[in-house]
Amino acid sequence: MTEMICPYDQCTGCGACAAVCPKHCITMSKDGEGFLRPAVDESECVSCGACTRVCPVNGKPEKHVIRYVTAENTDSRVLRRSSSGGVFAALAGVILKEDGVVCGAAQDDEKCVVYHKIVREGENLPELMRSKYYQSDTRGIYRDVRKLLMAGRTVLFTGTACQIDALCHYLGELHRSRFLYTADVLCHGVTSSLAVGAYLEDQEKRYGKTIRHFRFRVKKGDGPGAQWKQGGGTRMRLSFEDGTALLQDQALDSFFCAFNSNLILRESCYSCPYAGSGRVADLTLGDYWGADPAELTKRQAELGLSIVSVNTKRGEELLRKAAGSLEIHPADAADARRANLAFTRPQNRPNERSGIFEKIKTRGFDRTVRSALRGYYFRQTVKKILRGIVHHPETE
């Protein structure tokens, strides 16, 4: 029923329509690819049009940009547990110290879902840290944020740009409240819990063990072999119920091969209206792929460095408050944009995307991805043979 509110392929699954409906007759439910979409109970609908008006897809995003900086958290422990430069944790730390709350994406490993939640205590912040590459469910969160803002509580809301825009549309004029800060991840797209679940199922078959936990971008830590390498050195960590764990290299892990090749993204991500140098949030956080590897410090190369697009005065203010726990340097706008495609345009949709979820459901994840990316796997195998390397996932 998405079409009733906005064009099907452009629906981002942000959930603003469900949040605003006065009759509570919109439910966000999974489509055949596992992505959340609104379903309207027409018997309850009073045709008030609130859902169509709030839907960000029916408007034009309000975008801004002021300048770019590179940033890294000064605490190596935090940096190691973050996907890139640990900027999110620094911003969140400031807000929590001021008795505010932080909202972001947490993962339920057992149910294999990501959902937005509010954190009030620093000890719970790790739940929101690290990138989870499948779409977060925003159920109930916009309403909770509005209540907190109305009560004069400071809120840092983080997520993808479509979620930030959804919050702003839902809040109306309240989104200009001095109590609200927003930060988006420099998102090139999300996949669904169906894709992640199918991937995990195949890994369990492959290793003959049940997976208890999984983390998408693990830095191996200090010491030999530690590497972030502008994100490329991070690994998938699979932790099994027998207490063992494996680290799978991005170049050969089937999830990352599919995700980084844009095979399994949500349809709306291929025409994302938020891609580009102007942004909807106060701050935008990404991996700094534009850095010259020769100029990175050993710590940056091993543990990560972020690019931050400072988009509004509120963003400047929050970054200034967090400066005590970040090493910040100005960054060249052209370098930042050249290296991170999401600062320029949406990702290309490969032809193999058509019907990929049906194939995943019938043939399984690994087989489908290997078949769709035959050329890629062939090149990787040739590279390994030439270098005399046999790939075995590392144990932890």
Ligand X SMILES: Cc1cc2nc3c(=O)[nH]c(=O)nc-3n(C[C@H](O)[C@H](O)[C@H](O)COP(=O)(O)OP(=O)(O)OC[C@H]3O[C@@H](n4cnc5c(N)ncnc54)[C@H](O)[C@@H]3O)c2cc1C
Interface residues with ligand SF4 (CB under 6 A) are 2, 5-6, 11-17, 21, 23, 25-26, 38, 40, 45-51, 55, 57, 160-162, 166, 187, 189-190, 266, 268-269, 272, 274
* Strands annotated E in 86-143: 101-108, 113-119, 136-137
Q: In the complex, what is the shortest distance from the CB of residue 49 to ligand SF4, in angstroms, rounded to a whole number?
A: 5
Pairing of strands 211-218, 306-310: unpaired
Q: In the complex, what is the shortest distance from the CB of residue 389 to ligand SF4, in angstroms, rounded to a whole number?
A: 34
State how far the Cα of 391 lies from the Cα of 258, in Å rounded to an integer. Answer: 18
Binding partner at 235 among ligand X, ligand SF4, none, C-beta below 5 to 8 Å by kind = none
Question: Any contact of residue 114 with ligand X (CB under 6 A)?
Answer: yes
Question: Any contact of residue 86 with ligand X (CB under 6 A)?
Answer: yes
Binding partner at 287 among ligand X, ligand SF4, none, C-beta below 5 to 8 Å by kind = ligand X
Q: In DSSP terms, which residues pair with 185 in a beta bridge? A: 285
Both tokens of 234, joined, read 């991070």
* Binding-site member from 2, 138, 306, 311 for ligand X (CB under 6 A): 306
Which one of the spans 4-12, 153-161, 316-324, 372-380 is the region binding ligand X (CB under 6 A)? 153-161
Q: Which residues lie below 8 Å from residue 57, measured CB to CB, with a gap of 6+?
A: 6, 7, 10, 11, 12, 268, 273
Binding partner at 38 among ligand X, ligand SF4, none, C-beta below 5 to 8 Å by kind = ligand SF4
The DSSP annotation for 320-351 comes to HHHGGGEEEEE--HHHHHHH-GGGT-PPP--G
- Enter the DSSP assignment of 270: G
Question: Restricting to residues 17-76, which ones interact with ligand X according to CB under 6 A?
Answer: none
Binding partner at 319 among ligand SF4, ligand X, none, C-beta below 5 to 8 Å by kind = none
> Toward ligand SF4, which CB reaches closer, 100 or 170?
170
Q: In the complex, what is the shortest distance from the CB of residue 97 to ligand SF4, in angstroms, rounded to a whole number?
A: 29
> Toward ligand X, which CB reaches closer, 40 or 228?
228
Residue at 119: amino acid letter: V
Binding partner at 272 among ligand SF4, ligand X, none, C-beta below 5 to 8 Å by kind = ligand SF4
Residue with tokens 């859902």: 51
Question: Any contact of residue 80 with ligand X (CB under 6 A)?
Answer: no
Question: Any contact of residue 234 with ligand X (CB under 6 A)?
Answer: no
Question: Restricting to residues 156-175, which ones interact with ligand X according to CB under 6 A?
Answer: 158-160
Question: Any contact of residue 130 with ligand X (CB under 6 A)?
Answer: yes
- Enter the DSSP assignment of 74: S
> Considering only CA atoms, which of 37, 31, 41, 33 is closest in space to residue 14?
37
Secondary element (H or E) of residue 302 = helix 298-303
Question: Any contact of residue 346 with ligand X (CB under 6 A)?
Answer: no
Binding partner at 105 among ligand X, ligand SF4, none, C-beta below 5 to 8 Å by kind = ligand X
* Binding-site member from 190, 245, 247, 301 for ligand X (CB under 6 A): 190
Q: In the complex, what is the shortest distance from the CB of residue 243 to ligand X, in angstroms, rounded to a whole number?
A: 26
> Toward ligand X, which CB reaches closer, 40 or 160?
160
Interhelix angle 87-97/313-322, nearest 10 degrees: 90
Which one of the spans 93-101, 125-133, 141-149, 355-363 is the region binding ligand X (CB under 6 A)? 125-133
Q: Which residues of 161-198 are buried (b: 16+ CB within 10 A; e: fewer)?
A: bbbbbbbbbbbeeebeeeebbbbbbbbbbbbbbbbbbb
Both tokens of 45, joined, read 């609908």
Question: Any contact of residue 83 with ligand X (CB under 6 A)?
Answer: yes
Residue with tokens 């050249």: 338
Cβ–Cβ < 8 Å for 39, 140: no
Question: Any contact of residue 85 with ligand X (CB under 6 A)?
Answer: yes
Both tokens of 393, joined, read 């996932």
> Toward ligand SF4, which CB reaches closer, 280 or 310?
280
How many of the other CB atoms lie within 10 Å of CB of 370? Answer: 16
Q: Which residues bind ligand X (CB under 6 A)?
A: 82-89, 104-105, 114, 128-133, 136, 158-160, 185-188, 190, 285-287, 306, 340, 342
